[in-house]
C-alpha cells in the first residue's frame, strides 16, 4: 500500500487494514533511522559517520564509522537510547532538496557526500528528518511520528565489520544489526527460533561430531574428517545407485583446463572473476632465478559443463543414443570474497552432484519430468519438502533472444503440467547467462527455505561448441543440453542435513551407525567378533577397547549421536546377543546379534528416517 494512494497520512491511518499493510512495509526501515540517531547520541555526533541502513528480513542494520569498536556492553545502552527517542514522539518530515542543498546538509558526513556525488544530475533527492536534530538521505517512505513505533519490539542482534559499498578496498565500517518485529510476542518467537537455529548450527555440530574442519591455509575449502567422509560416501552411494537406475553414466574429467575451453563456453568472459587462474614459473637453468609467467593460459574449473561437452564430442552420436546423461561429482573451485564464506554453506571448493544431458527437443519435457521425479524422491528420502521457481533471461545473456524465448516457453509448459499454472514462482532475470532454469527450494524441519537443486535448459552451449547428432533421416542436427544438480553441492547439502537433523542422522547416513562397548577387558574378544559381524553386513561400526569406565565409553558415543550403542558383558558373550542403547536413552536387552545385524542392514537398504526401537524391530 502506498502513501500516495491517499490524500494525506491521516486518511491512510483511518483505513486500518491499509495502514497496517503500509506500517509493516516501513517500520523496520524507520527503526534503522532511530538506530542511527541513537548511535550518534551515544557516541557523539561529531565522532560518528553514518553510511547506509536498510531494512532486512528480520530487522534492519546500519553501517557506521565510530571512534571505537562497539561491544556487547554497548547494546543495552543503544537499545535504551532508541526507546528514549521513541518516547519523545518526534515528528518525521520529508523534504526534497537539490544536490547543492544535500551537500550542504551532509557536509560533515563523508559517506553521504559520496552517495550524493554519484547521483544523476536529474535525480530526485529527498531527506528525512526525525525531530529537529537528525536527518538522513533517504528515498523513504517512513512513518509520520515516532509514537507509531512505540509498540514495536527490537533488540540488537550483533555487530560486525563491513566494507563501504561492499568493496574491501574501501573503509571498514561497523555494521550494527537489530531484530525488529511489530510486537513483543513476535520478537520472542523469533528469538526462540534463532536459539534453535544456533543449536543446529552445522559449524558447531560438525566439529563436535568430528565430521569436517577448516584451516586458514585453505580458506573456504573443507577437510572431510574420517567420520564425516563416511557420511559423505553413504550419501554419494545413495545418489549413484539412484542415478544408475535412471540411465546416468558417471564420468571423471580434468580439474584444470586451457582458457580456450572457457572462452568457447563463455565462462572466460562472464565468470572469470570467480575463477582460480593458474600461473607458472620459468626457472633460469644457469642462475636458478625464478620468473613468474603473467600470461594466464589455464584455470581451475568452476563448473563441469565444458568438460562434459568434450566427452560428448569424443564421438559422433546417433539419435538412438539420446538422451545421453553424463553425471559427475568431481571437485570444482569458485572464488568468493572472504567475508562471504560461511561454513559448508558458502565455500570455495566443493563437489556438485552434476549432470549434463544431451537430447533432442522433443525429449525435453519427458526428461525434465524424470529429473523432477528424481528430485522429489531424493528430498522425500531426507524428509524435506520443496517448491519450484522459474528463473528467466538475465541482462548479460548469451545467444539469440528467440532461443531464450523457446527455452523459457518449454520450461513453463513443464511446470504448468507438473504444478498447475500459477503454482510456482517466476524469478525474472535470474537465469544463467546461457539459459533459463528451474530452481528447487526446499524447507527443513524448522521451516527455513534453502536454494538447492537447479535444472537449466541450454540451447547456447551446443551452438558454441557446434555439437551434433545424426538424426533419423541421416542429417546432422544440434542437440539441446540440460544442466542439472539436485543437491546443489554435497558440502552445502550436508551442512543443511546437519542442521535439519541437529546431528541425529537417520541410521543409513549416520557417519558411524553402531558403537560397541565391552564392559570389561575379558569382553574385548566378543566385541571384536561383533564388529566383524556388523562390518560384514555393511554396517559402519566402531569399538572402544580402551581401558576406561564403561559409562564414559557409552557417554562418548552418545555425544557423537551414534544411533545405537551395543553394550557387551558375560551374558551377551555367552548367548551371542547384544544389549542395545538406542539414541534417546531407550534400552533393549538380549537381542540376537545376527538379528540385529540383519535389521541394521535392512535400514541401509530402505533409507528409513525413523530409528527402530522395539524388540519386534529386531526379530
The residues assigned a catalytic role are 305, 334, 352, 354, 356, 437, 483
Quick one: three-class SS letters along 452-520? EEEEEEECHHHHHCCCCEECCCCCEECCEEEEEECCCCHHHHHHHHHHHHCCCCCHHHCCCCEEEEECC
- Cα angle at 466 between 462 and 467, to 5 degrees? 60
Q: What is the C-alpha to C-alpha distance for residues 139 and 102, in angstroms, rounded to an integer?
A: 13
Residue whose grid cell is 511520528 = 145
CA 37 to chain centre: 34
Q: What is the C-alpha to C-alpha distance for residues 8 and 392, in angstroms, rounded to an integer?
A: 39
Q: What is the C-alpha to C-alpha distance for residues 537 and 543, in angstroms, rounded to an integer?
A: 16
Q: Is the dihedral of CA 234, 236, 242, 244 positive or negative?
A: negative
Q: Which of 299, 304, 300 is nearest to 333 (CA)?
A: 300
Burial 36-73 (b: 16+ CB within 10 A, else e): bbbbbbbbeeeebbbbbbebeebbbbbbbbbeeebeee
Spatial neighbors of 378 by CB under 8 A, at least 6 apart, are: 239, 242, 486, 487
Q: What is the C-alpha to C-alpha distance for residues 505 and 415, in angstroms, rounded to an integer?
A: 33
Pairing of strands 385-391, 331-333: unpaired
Crossing angle of helices 593-606 and 524-536, rounded to 10°: 30
Helix (H, G, I), strand (E, B) or coil at 282: strand
Q: What is the C-alpha to C-alpha distance for residues 19 and 450, in angstroms, rounded to an integer?
A: 32
608 exposure class (CB count in 10 Å sphere: 0-12, 13-18, 19+)? middle
Cell representation of residue 15: 483505513
Which contiguous run of DSSP H or E holds residue 366? helix 364-381
Cell representation of residue 17: 487494514
Amino acid at each position: 500500500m502506498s502513501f500516495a494512494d491517499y490524500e494525506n497520512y491521516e486518511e491512510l491511518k483511518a483505513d486500518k487494514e491499509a495502514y497496517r499493510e503500509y506500517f509493516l512495509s516501513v517500520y523496520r526501515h524507520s527503526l534503522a533511522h532511530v538506530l542511527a540517531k541513537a548511535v550518534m547520541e551515544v557516541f557523539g555526533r561529531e565522532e560518528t559517520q553514518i553510511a547506509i541502513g536498510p531494512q532486512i528480513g528480520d530487522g534492519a542494520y546500519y553501517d557506521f564509522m565510530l571512534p571505537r569498536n562497539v561491544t556487547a556492553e554497548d547494546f543495552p545502552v543503544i537499545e535504551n537510547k532508541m526507546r528514549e527517542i521513541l518516547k519523545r514522539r518526534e515528528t518525521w518530515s520529508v523534504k526534497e532538496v537539490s544536490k547543492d542543498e544535500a551537500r550542504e546538509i551532509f557536509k560533515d558526513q563523508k559517506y553521504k557526500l559520496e552517495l550524493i556525488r554519484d547521483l544523476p544530475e536529474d535525480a530526485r533527492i529527498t531527506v528525512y528528518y526525525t525531530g529537529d536534530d537528525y536527518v538522513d538521505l533517504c528515498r523513504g517512505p517512513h512513518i509520520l511520528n515516532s509514537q507509531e513505533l512505540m509498540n514495536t519490539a527490537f533488540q540488537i542482534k550483533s555487530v560486525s565489520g563491513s566494507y563501504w559499498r561492499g568493496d574491501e578496498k574501501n573503509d571498514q565500517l561497523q555494521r550494527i544489526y537489530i531484530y525488529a518485529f511489530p510486537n513483543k510476542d513476535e520478537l520472542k518467537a523469533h528469538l526462540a527460533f534463532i536459539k534453535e537455529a544456533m543449536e543446529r548450527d552445522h559449524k558447531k555440530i560438525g566439529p563436535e561430531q568430528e565430521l569436517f574442519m577448516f584451516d586458514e591455509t585453505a580458506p573456504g575449502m573443507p577437510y572431510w574428517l574420517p567420520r564425516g567422509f563416511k557420511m559423505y560416501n553413504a550419501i554419494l552411494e545413495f545418489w549413484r545407485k539412484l542415478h544408475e537406475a535412471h540411465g546416468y553414466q558417471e564420468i571423471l574429467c580434468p580439474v584444470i583446463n586451457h582458457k580456450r575451453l572457457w572462452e568457447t563456453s563463455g565462462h572466460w568472459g562472464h565468470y572469470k572473476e570467480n575463477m582460480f587462474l593458474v600461473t607458472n614459473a620459468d626457472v633460469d637453468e644457469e642462475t636458478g632465478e625464478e620468473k613468474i609467467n603473467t600470461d594466464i593460459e589455464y584455470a581451475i574449473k568452476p563448473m563441469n559443463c565444458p568438460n562434459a561437452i568434450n566427452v560428448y564430442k569424443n564421438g559422433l552420436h546417433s539419435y538412438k543414443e539420446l538422451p545421453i546423461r553424463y553425471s559427475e561429482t568431481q571437485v570444482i573451485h569458485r572464488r568468493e570474497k572472504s567475508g562471504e564464506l560461511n561454513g559448508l554453506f558458502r565455500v570455495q571448493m566443493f563437489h556438485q552432484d552434476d549432470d549434463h544431458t544431451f537430447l533432442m527437443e522433443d525429449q525435453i519435457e519427458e526428461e525434465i519430468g524424470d529429473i523432477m521425479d528424481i528430485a522429489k524422491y531424493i528430498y522425500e528420502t531426507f524428509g524435506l519438502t520443496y517448491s519450484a521457481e522459474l528463473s528467466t533471461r538475465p541482462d548479460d545473456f548469451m545467444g539469440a533472444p528467440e532461443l531464450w524465448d523457446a527455452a523459457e516457453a518449454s520450461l513453463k509448459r513443464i511446470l504448468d503440467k507438473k504444478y498447475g499454472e500459477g503454482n510456482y514462482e517466476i524469478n525474472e532475470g535470474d537465469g544463467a547467462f546461457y539459459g533459463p532454469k528451474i530452481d528447487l527450494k526446499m524447507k527443513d524441519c524448522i521451516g527455513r527455505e534453502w536454494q538447492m537443486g537447479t535444472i537449466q535448459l541450454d540451447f547456447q552451449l551446443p551452438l558454441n561448441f557446434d555439437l551434433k547428432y545424426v538424426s533419423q533421416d541421416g542429417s546432422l542436427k544440434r542437440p539441446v543440453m540440460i544442466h542439472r544438480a539436485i543437491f546443489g553441492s554435497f558440502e552445502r547439502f550436508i551442512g543443511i542435513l546437519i542442521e535439519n537433523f541437529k546431528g541425529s542422522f537417520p541410521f543409513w547416513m549416520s557417519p558411524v551407525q553402531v558403537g560397541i562397548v565391552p564392559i570389561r577387558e575379558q569382553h574385548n574378544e566378543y566385541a571384536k567378533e561383533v564388529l566383524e559381524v556388523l562390518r560384514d553386513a555393511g554396517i559402519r561400526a566402531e569399538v572402544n577397547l580402551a581401558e576406561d569406565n564403561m559409562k564414559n565409553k557409552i557417554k562418548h558415543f552418545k555425544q557423537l549421536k551414534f544411533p545405537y550403542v551395543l553394550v557387551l558383558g558375560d551374558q551377551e558373550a555367552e548367548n551371542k546377543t547384544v544389549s542395545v542403547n538406542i539414541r534417546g536413552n531407550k534400552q533393549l536387552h538380549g537381542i540376537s546379534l545376527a538379528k540385529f545385524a540383519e535389521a541394521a542392514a535392512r535400514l541401509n537398504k530402505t533409507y528409513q528416517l525413523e530409528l527402530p526401537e522395539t524388540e519386534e524391530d529386531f526379530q
